[in-house]
Structure 1
Amino acid sequence: MKTNPFVPILALFAALILFAASCTTAPQKADEKPAAQSDVPEYFLLRPDVEKAYGYSHAVRIGNELKISGAVSMDEKGNLTAKGDLGQQMKNCYADLDKVLKHYGYNWDDVVVENILTTNMSEFVAQSAYRNTIYKKQFPTGSWFGVKELALPGQLIEIELEAYKVR
């Protein structure tokens, strides 16, 4: 009996198909998080009425990166608080920044950039040791800028952050 020459080729082809079908990626475990988050920007308003009036968002997260606008010492209506007291204004800024970080599930160890703008650099340097209570593991990169004025009359400091979290 003569065999068809295409039978071995078809058998090999069928075996390759079965082999390829069995090569799948392992399913994600229930306790594992996805490798990366969405690249769709997610905006956050800490004081929606104030931020809409001034035309900015307090924070935006894209994937694992979080960018936070300069925090200032203000109340819920956008009025400056602690006028003339740089140390208290700085503490108020860090309190607002902490709220934004926590909103997204970040903490101070996730901060990679901190930029500080102040109208009184010598006073800021004298008060800067307060930052040791904020950054306990390491300090982020960043810059300190001495500026002529900031957005609100009497405002002495503004602090902006960037954070990154491995998910």
Structure 2
Amino acid sequence: MNIKSSHARLMLAVLFSMSTLAGCQQSEQVKEVVEEKIEVPAETAEYFLLRPDVEKAYGYSHAVKIGREVKVSGAVSMDDQGNPTAVGDLEQQMKNCYSDLEKVLAHFGCTFDDVVVENVFTTNMPQFLEFSAYRNEIYKNHFPTGSWLGVRELALPEFMIEIELEVLIPEK
């Protein structure tokens, strides 16, 4: 074996060892960073009751806010005592639902522009489709995702429509 080739092999071995050692040190540094725990404060739920007596009687909250998300229970056409309104008039019931939903959104500093999901439940889908263009007055900039579902019945027989929402509160 000649001296030049053994010297070259020795140099390659030293360089390889150094790069492996450097790689291990970097790997340890990365490992340390990955193992650091990041403390995130727990989100607390904020409950909102639009009609406290009615909601307590039926056992639900009209909306719950966690972080920047708000889940809104289905709005139906009722008065402050929980009595159905606009009985037999699906179009007016729909307008009453959106009026209540607007109050809930306002409580959280939101508008219909902040709605990301809207689910509509109706006992009369053909009639709802007749009046669904009213939503253009509600959603002026964009429509949320969601589903329209025809159902056999809602909580009370007089209710013809129920609308629930999911909202993302805008960052300030």
TM-score, normalised with respect to structure 1: 0.77
Runs of at least 4 residues of structure 1 off by over 2 A? none
What does the per-residue CA deviation read over 1:13-33, in whole Å, with 9 as the maximum and x for residues that have no partner? xxxxxxxxxxxxxxxxxxxxx
Greater fraction of residues in helix: 2
CA contact (8 A) 1:37 1:64 kept: no
Aligned to 1:102: 106
Question: Displacement, 1:152?
Answer: 1.1
Aligned to 1:140: 144
Structure 1, unaligned stretches of length 5 or more? 1-35
Would the alpha carbon gap of residues 74 and 37 (structure 1) be closer, same or farther in structure 2, given more than 3 Å must change?
farther
Question: Displacement, 1:104?
Answer: 0.6
1:116 aligned counterpart, secondary structure:
strand
Aligned to 1:16: none
Aligned to 2:135: 131
2:84 aligned counterpart, secondary structure:
coil
CA contact (8 A) 1:50 1:78 kept: yes
1:95 aligned counterpart, secondary structure:
helix
Q: How does 1:23-42 map to 2 (within 5 A)?
A: 39-42=43-46
Q: 1:87 aligns with which of 88, 91, 101?
A: 91
Would the alpha carbon gap of residues 159 and 87 (structure 1) be closer, same or farther in structure 2, given more than 3 Å must change?
same
Q: How does 1:1-167 map to 2 (within 5 A)?
A: 39-167=43-171
Q: Return the alpha-carbon distance in structure 1 between the equivalents of residues 66 and 41 of structure 2.
A: 8
Question: Displacement, 1:37?
Answer: 9.4
Kindly provide the amino acid, as one letter, of the partner of residue 69 in structure 2: E
Question: Displacement, 1:140?
Answer: 0.1
Greater C-alpha Rg:
2
CA RMSD, 1 decimal: 1.4
Would the alpha carbon gap of residues 93 and 51 (structure 1) be closer, same or farther in structure 2, given more than 3 Å must change?
same
Would the alpha carbon gap of residues 97 and 154 (structure 1) be closer, same or farther in structure 2, given more than 3 Å must change?
same
TM-score, normalised with respect to structure 2: 0.75
Kindly provide the amino acid, as one letter, of the partner of residue 127 in structure 1: F
